[in-house]
Structure formats: structure tokens, C-alpha cells
Amino acid sequence: MHELTRTEAIDLVGRGEAEQELPETMRADVRMLGALLGRVLRESGSPGLYEDVERLRQATIAAYTDESPEAFERAAAIAESFSIERADEVARAFTVYFHLVNLAEEHQRVRVLRERDGRPEKEDAADSVAAAFVRLAAEVGDDTALQRLRELRFHPVFTAHPTEARRRAVSTSIRRLVRLLGEYDQSDQGGADQRRAERRMLEEIDTLWRTAPLRAEKPTPVDEVRAIMAVFDETLYTAVPHVYRRVDDALQGPAAGSRAPIVRPFVRLGTWVGGDRDGNPFVTASVTKKAAGIASEHILLGLENSANRIAKTLTLSSETTPPNAELTALLQRLAGADEEGAVDAAKRAKVEPHKRVMLLIKRRITATRRRDADLAYRVPEELLADLATVQASLVAAGAPRQAYGHLQQLLWQVETFGFHLAELEVRQHSAVHAKVLAECESGDTLSTQAEEVLEVFRTISQIQQRYGVGAAGRYIVSFTQSAADLQTVHRLARHAAGPGGTPPVLDVIPLFETFADLQAAPGIMAEIVTDPAFAARLDATGRHLEVMLGYSDSSKDVGPVAANLALYEAQAKIAAWAQDEGIHLTLFHGRGGALGRGGGPANSAILAQPPHSVDGRFKLTEQGEVIFARYGDPNIAMRHIDQVAAAVLLASAPSIEARNSEAAARYADVAATMDAASRERFFSLVKADGFASWFATVTPMEEIGLLALGSRPARRGLSVESLEDLRAIPWVFAWSQARINLAGWFGLGTALESVGDAEVLRRAYDEWPLFRTVIDNVGMSLAKADDRIARRYLDLGDRPDLADLVADEMALTKRWVVLIAGGDDLLANKPVLQRAVKMRSPYVDALSLLQLRALRTLRQGDVADADLAPWQRLLLLSVSGVSAGLQNTG
């Protein structure tokens, strides 16, 4: 095997403490990938590129390590010295580096998960569904715990919010590299297979280097739909039933697979991709219909292939495994409806009745996909009934392992995904509804917008008729501010259906986003359940009800501290109201990947929720880069689903509910002090004269709009005159790019200073889960920030008063977080995460220095219009690279 010398390789891990504490297997992967990247750069045809990358890399590591102003200035001077062409190449090199180190980290996670093989990380950890069940049963008894397990529901909803900065071509190249790294890992050291895998990795890294990192144009909503399908095809279709199997194996032990499973399918998928039209004029009724069709095509093709594979394995003769009467009747019915298929099945399975039935079931699934009305299944329940008949016959014939093996997996897949894969949810702004309803009731000719809104309801009806009611019907109302905002949706649906027509089945879901709306939420819900249309649907669902809470706008509205406290209070009040009304409440959490948008570890957040606000049901949005980080690899997806579902199950344990309730009461005065102080501090910044334009100057917010990240516009108007003009996602994204991460922490330092008692705050950290979650999340947010680089961004705005306000609050917050969490630095109590951040930070710094140079050049206006394009490109390249380095930017 060709070995590069140390000077030829890009040393991706450096020489510091962080490197020494990394697992040796990961260090070996990173060194090998670095050697390959170094070789690619040397062969790139750009003289001196490798040496320039190394100069900047070594300088930023030195600046990060000794923290002296001189070292930082040396690194900045190197970034300033490059020609624009060289800066472009260096930015691309560091971005490729982050893609490689990200995949090495992911590979290490997969390696650890495989070694553990489903065992908990710690002996006493209840971080799997099976372990959570055991702990819950110890508190409430086996019967109650089993009932709660069977009612468990985890409902992730994928959205197309524009925070995934990678092109799909780049993502695809990375997935190929992941597979090749796995092959390399499993090959004999120095053997032919390993050499072949290394050669192919070198080729792939060269391809990644040569692939344009920026999209030439924004993806369309249909492009976004197809991108999400890749996650389903490659991961979720098989990963979800494997989670069920793992839980059942743990609970049933040796008997698993030979008798009916204990676990019921507890995952349901939702999607806003192709359905979320709030602020996105490109999502039309036609797009929504196409999105439903694409998703259905994928799931039906998956079910068709699964049924065919199972048919091939059911080579059980009628002598050893005789069919029961129900299977014989089903075979006759299927054969009568499909004479051609019956002849073919009889040839392929002369004495194998179960195989013959599965072959005919496969043909019916194919007919469903091809819309052959004579043979197609009308609804998934028909397919489930046929599969259940096959299963029962196998059990009766003494073949339970065939009944509860792959066939059971197919049953789970149909129950989880139906014929629609993920329920397509529609979202629209309440103001749009009000405007369109006024038009409908005026009697005048309807505007194009009104016609489009009404067509959406007709499209929902068509989707329900084609794929079943479960395929669509949840309708989210953004900025719900009154019960009338929800009533309007039902009225519009009736207008769309017309006289004598039948409107679609709708579950209208309020989305409470601002601080004021969160406070008003309990009253609005109490009022809306008296509305006849709403009450009728509530009764039809067995009194199940969803309420959505927005993390992004509430944080932008009053600051992250007050928003977190307001969200907790709103959840507690809505949950208490639902309990009193006998309503089965599901709170839908509109969380993003970044901490300023409710991001952070989901399982710890779930276990910090108020009593009865979870009750075995948890729904959240999965957005941007988070989708591929959590669901891109089957092993990681299974672990994520298992962890979150475990927390959902355990959240209803009496001990957890009592702990959260008692802590909230005990620290109510602390919460009130923090709420008032943090809001005042936040308002002193965002309500200052000229803040919005200053923010647009000191961050790459304006330029982010040039990135072809997603189909949705980044802001509501043409320019940013106030925060109301700006969507929450670019607000968070821009601050993260400036290495400030302000949206995740601003105001917390002042809030903690107002409490002032370090001992009280340390006790709160130990006893109050919500407070601990806030402190830990802010610790991670600040660890990924950099005060020296942040200061350079802040100084771009020529407002020292605002720059000092941010810098002072940053320092104050960091001091208090370290004091409360313990240790001598941020994340000292989370050494694995701390090492990962420290390893990455110097390399992110390199890209930030290049971005600063580009941003300063664009802000100063010294470049002629004809020469702007290379500087804009450099800035956008650095945005993509910083996103890859920070990982949870949106």
C-alpha cells in the first residue's frame, strides 16, 4: 500500500490534546483520509495550493491553542494574503476536509453502535425502548407499562427548510465514501481488497474536490421531495421495522420470532416537503399532488419488492405446512380476480399455497402502484388483512417462525408507511386564510391567490381518495392568534367543495409561535373545541388533538431564555386543560437543528417536559442537515429512533413527572427573575435604533439569500427593515456563520447574574431538568462560537455600542455557564463533545477568516460591480464550509 509521508498529508486531527483523546480507530481513519486529500491537492494542478492550505491550517491551530493576539493576527494575515483565486481554492479544501472528518465521525459512531449491538451505553441507562419499558414497569406494573408501550407514538415530520448547505451531488459522493470506508475497515490489513478500497476512496475524494460545491440554482419543491425520498429508500424503509424487531427481541428473549410480537409499530412519518406553502409561493396545489404521487410510488415499490422476496422464501409445501380454510378462500378470491397472475403463480408454486398467495398479493401491490383499478388495493387495510390471513395460516400450520419473521416485517412496514409513506401536511399562514375567506364571501371574482388556496383543499380530497385519509389531512395554521383562525380553515374547505360537495377530512392544527400567542394558547384551545366542525372531528378521532408550538419565532420574539420558559408554561397549561377535558393531546414541537430554534438532544428535552405534555406521544419537525445526520445511516437512524422513543415512553413515569413538576414549582421564583431580566436584555439589543440594518451588516444574512439552499425565500419582503421582515431560520443561520450563535444564548448571562446565587443555580442545574437542558445547550452553542472572530464580525457595523453589548453578554454568559456546569471550560462535563468541538474549531476558524475577508470587501464597496462575483462566491463557499464544520447551523 502506498504510504504518503507526513509532510504530504493533510493532518486532519492536528497534534493537540483533542487528537490524543480520540479513539485510535477514528484517528487512523482521519489520518488515512487526510493523506488521500493531501494527495488530491498536490495533484490538483494548482502549484503551491497544498502548502498554502498547510500554512493557514497551522496558523489557526496555533492561534486556537495559545490564544495570543499575535498568533491570531498571524492567521488573519495569511487569510488576507491570498489572491481571490487562491482563497477560493483554500476554502474549498477546508470544506472537503469537513466532509471527510464528518464521515469519519459518523463511521466511528456506526462502529461503536455495531460493537454494542443494542446494549445500553451505560449499565443503568434507560436509553432504549426495551430498557425504558423495564424501568417504567418497575414503577407502574407490567400491565400498565405494556399498555403504554402499545400506545407509544414517535412522529418525526421532515421539512425542507433551507439549512442543508450541501448539494445533493456532494451528499451522494459522501455516501459513497462512507460505504468505501466501511469496505476498507472490513478488509485484511494490506490486502488486495483494502488497496482497492483505498484507490476507490482516492478517486472519490478527487471527485468530491472537483464537484462544484454550490448549487447553480435553487431546488424546486419537487427536487426537495425527491431528495427526501433518498433517506426513505436508503434508510427508513428497513431501519424502522428493525427498531421494532430489536425491541421485541429484547422483551421476548429466545421466544422472539416464534410468537406474536409484543411491540406495535410506534413510528409514523410526516412531511411538509411539497405541502408547506407558508411564505413559499412555489409550493402549489399541483406540487402537493406530485409530492403525494412520488412518495406513494416509492413506498409501493418497496412493498412490492418485499412481498416478492417473501414469496420466494415461502417454499413451504402443502404437506408440511397445510393452508387453513381462510388462506384457501383468499387464494380462490385472488385467483378469481387475477386469472393471468393465478396461472403464473400456479406454475411457480404448484404445491406451495402460501407462496402462491404472496405472489398474487405482490401483483395486487403492483396494480396499486400502476393504478390498475380492477386489481388494486383500495386502502392499506385491505393489504394488511390479506397478509394477516397468510400469517394466521402459517401459525396454524405450525410454522410460526415464517409467520413472525420477514412477513411480520412487511406487516410492520404497511402499518407504519401505508400506501403514502409519510402523511403530507399542509401549512399556510392565518393572514392568507382570512384574506381568501373575505374574497369568497364578498361574491366578487376570486383572485389567483384565492383560487390556489381553494384548489389546495380539493387536492387534499383527491389525495385522500387515492391513498386513504391517512395520506393527508393535517392542516397547520401558522401564526394562530384566535379560534377564528382555525374556524376559517373549515369554512374555506366548504367553499372549495362547493354546494353539495364533500370537503376533505381535516385535522386543523394551530401553530402558536410568538410569545403572546403562546400565552393565549390555552384560551384559544378552550374556545375552539366548542366549534361544531372542530368538535365533530374531535369526536371522530376519539378525542385526539394536536397543538403545534413554534420554537423559532418565539426565540426571535423575546430571546431564547424567555422563549424556553414560555414554551414550558404553555405546554403545562395546555396539557392540564387537555387532562381536564379528557382529550388525548399530542404536542407538535417545531424544532430546528440549531439551539436558537429548539435544537439539541431530543431525548433530554423530552424528559424535561411538563407532566402529561408527552403521555407517550411525541411529534417534532426534523429539518435541514439534521435529517441526513440523524437518518442518513441505518445504524444511526435506528439508534436515534430507539433513544427518542425510549424517552417518550419514560416521560410518563410517575417519578419523571413528579421530578419535573416539583422542580418547576421549587424554582418558580428563579424562572420569573430570569424571564424578566433576559427579556429586558434581549430587547435592549433588538429594539435598539438601527438594529436590523446593523445585523444585516455584521452577518452574511443578505448573502445567505443568494445561496441556492431551498425553494423557500429567506425573508418575507425585499429588504430587512425590522426583525419581523426576517424568517427565524436565516436569523439563526446568520448568527452561527458569524461565530456568535447569539440566537441560542443572548440574555442568559444577564438572567443568571440577576439571580446571582451560584449555589442556588448549581442546585437548579442538578434538580431542574429544564434548566439543565438550557445550560447544556448554551454550553455547546458558546463552545462553537469564537469571541475573537465574533468581534471582527461585530466591528463591521460601525456601532460599537451594539458590538460591546453582544460581546459583554457573551463573556458574562460563558462565565456563568462554566460556573454552574463545573470545570474550567465550556463542556468540561461532556468531554467527548468537548474534544469534538476542539478538534474542529481551528479549521472552522480558517474558513471564518476567509469569510470575514470576503464580507468586509463586499461591505466596504471598494470593488467594482463587474468584480463582485468572485467575492460573493468566496463568501458563499465559506458559508457552505462553516455549515459543514459546525454541523447544526439551522
The residues annotated as belonging to the active site are 161, 556
Backbone φ, ψ for residue 156 (5° rounding): -75, 140
Q: At what angle do helices 769-783 and 758-767 cross, to 10 degrees?
A: 100
- Give the residue from 531, 543, 535, 533 showing the smallest Cα distance to 580: 543
Identify the DSSP state of 689: T
Torsion angles phi and psi, residue 164, rounded to 5: -90, 100
Q: Which of 765, 778, 784 is nearest to 815 (CA)?
A: 778
- 132 Cβ contact partners less than 8 Å away, ≥ 6 residues apart: 126, 646, 647, 649, 650
Residue with cell 481551528: 842
**CB contact at 8 A, 524 and 483:** yes
Strand ranges in 495-612 using DSSP code E only, listed in sequence order: 507-512, 544-550, 584-590
d(CA 286, CA 222): 10
Q: Which residues sit opposite 271 in a β-bridge?
A: 158, 424
**For the chain, how are helix, strand and coil distributed in percent, rounded to 5?**
65, 5, 25
The C-alpha atoms of residue 342 and residue 359 are separated, in whole angstroms, by: 9
* CB 880 within 8 Å of CB 98: no
Residue 493's contacts (CB-CB under 8 Å, 6 or more residues apart) are: 457, 503, 504, 506
CB proximity list for 266: less than 8 A, separation 6 or greater? 149, 152, 153, 154, 244, 645
In a 3-state reduction of DSSP, which class is residue 548? strand
Segments of 123-227 assigned E as strands: 153-158
Tell me the CA distances in angstroms from 706 to 202, 592, 604, one per residue in order. 32, 21, 36
